[in-house]
A and B are shown apart, each in its own frame.
Chain A
């Protein structure tokens, strides 16, 4: 329901830090968007097959063939931190 749009929850899922003012602003805007999309629910789709794509295309494959990879230097070129061929990230704790 548009009115119940939980901006804090969605911001957390997307790992975006919002200020209270932004929460107010984006929460209202996203609620409006959802309200607009809500109109789609008024259409009778009982006779329509669900689809994920507009293009009626299936079975797009590639052959199982190995192609050259990037070098380790290229792969790590944009990494903010690297060591021993690895991407270095803040310590992962679960």
Chain B
């Protein structure tokens, strides 16, 4: 019998606000412990939380980016549990009336476009951070109360690689939408994985195993690569799986039991009496709609269609948004956007990386790149000379035409001059000349290379080729 995996992901993402969800403490990573805290986020008695409007906006915006419905009524609830990272002994979350429901995300997978439906996205608060010592634990509440969005997928992911691509696509959407910095290193994205297996062709779901608190996408993929075969092996040996929560041991590369269903939490959810319900007005929603941006996949497809870019170039401009914006501003004026894209990706990006510069700090206006494209396409300079022109323009900011003039890089298309170089090359390399005459066509390239060298890169290579061919007939 063959088995298939059924995977659902719960992804927690910190929202990009200035202040926390219920109080004015800074939403800021990396501050000294317990210095971004106040009576509200420390859970001291007698305080009142007040919702951060921007967090609600970013939640609605995420809902729109994920093609969700935004219910006209949402509310907050208390999820009760005892753990030292939660000073109030309850987490404020949205239990049965979340801010966004019934969406989906499309992403490239397996040579096509896959769609995973989004069950819901609800707003809650992050908890403090525990630091473990030999005999005690320490708690830092700087993170407690940071707005946290939980995005729940339908259980329709079928494997480790698909889970990985889903998470990356989700992260791209969140970063592009300006909803979250989604910096994994800073713990801004965490993920719970629900996975079960069932015989192919059956409908009923197998026993659900939850893997908690994954903090890297590659970890999720590795955990699933371990967990799915583990579950199948248990069933194939005639064993039974029990619903349980497992922990991923990244160093060991295995999952292990944390708690079984018998010990499952009873969170005693009830409506948060300190917070009023949320009912977005049409005007409020209209403001959010104006913040909706083009999604990464849609942008990639559009760049390929609109500018005839190869997939890899389009993807580069999606990932590097500033570079993409730079390209698009220029592409509108370009006769040949694809060539402009080549220069931006192969030269500009590489030189910026090498020099540690930024697009804003460039010494030349973007249009100069089009000048170089024109110079090459009209054969005024050779492509090797163009590389020199670009490097010169990048470091000094001079116009390409001026550089060509000053450096004497103009391509020589004067047949007389090129003939002289051809004669020199033929005289100096009798071997390749003989090879060519005996039928080795490739030898011509060598001779052409010699002509280019003699001309210091300025000879028109096509013309040089024609003249050589004629002379060696």
Contacts and interface: CB of A to CB of B under 8 A. Distances in A.
Interface in A50-94: 52-53, 55, 57-72, 75-76, 81, 83-92, 94
A80 B174 CA distance: 41
A72 B140 CA distance: 10
B37 A75 contact: yes
Q: Which of A15, A83, A85, A87 has the largest number of chain B CB atoms within 10 A?
A: A87
A66 B24 contact: yes
A13 interface: yes
Contacts of B50: 60-62
Nearest to A90: B136
A94 B18 CA distance: 33
A81 B84 CA distance: 13
Interface residues on B, range: 35 or more
Q: Is the interface of B mostly helix, strand, loop or mixed?
A: loop
A61 B138 contact: no
Given A52-B271, A62-B51, A75 B42 contact: yes
Contacts of A61: 50-53, 56
Contact of B32 (A65, A68, A85): A85
A13 B34 contact: no
A18 to B, nearest CB: 16
A64 B139 CA distance: 26
Nearest to B39: A70
B137 interface: yes
A63 B139 contact: no
B244 interface: no
B56 A70 contact: no
A78 to B, nearest CB: 8
A63 B33 CA distance: 25
Contacts of B279: 58-59
B55 A64 contact: yes
A88 B273 CA distance: 30
B34 A91 contact: no
A86 B19 contact: no
B266 A87 contact: no
A71 B53 CA distance: 26
A65 B132 contact: no
A69 B35 contact: yes
B242 interface: no
A57 B18 CA distance: 26
A54 B139 CA distance: 37
A70 B141 CA distance: 12
A52 B75 contact: yes
B137 A89 contact: yes
B17 interface: yes
Q: Which of B34, B52, B83, B138 has the largest number of chain A CB atoms within 10 A?
A: B34
A93 to B, nearest CB: 9
Interface of B: 17-19, 23-26, 32-39, 42, 50-56, 75, 80, 82-84, 130-133, 135-141, 258, 266, 268, 271-273, 275-281
Interface of A: 13, 15, 52-53, 55, 57-72, 75-76, 81, 83-92, 94
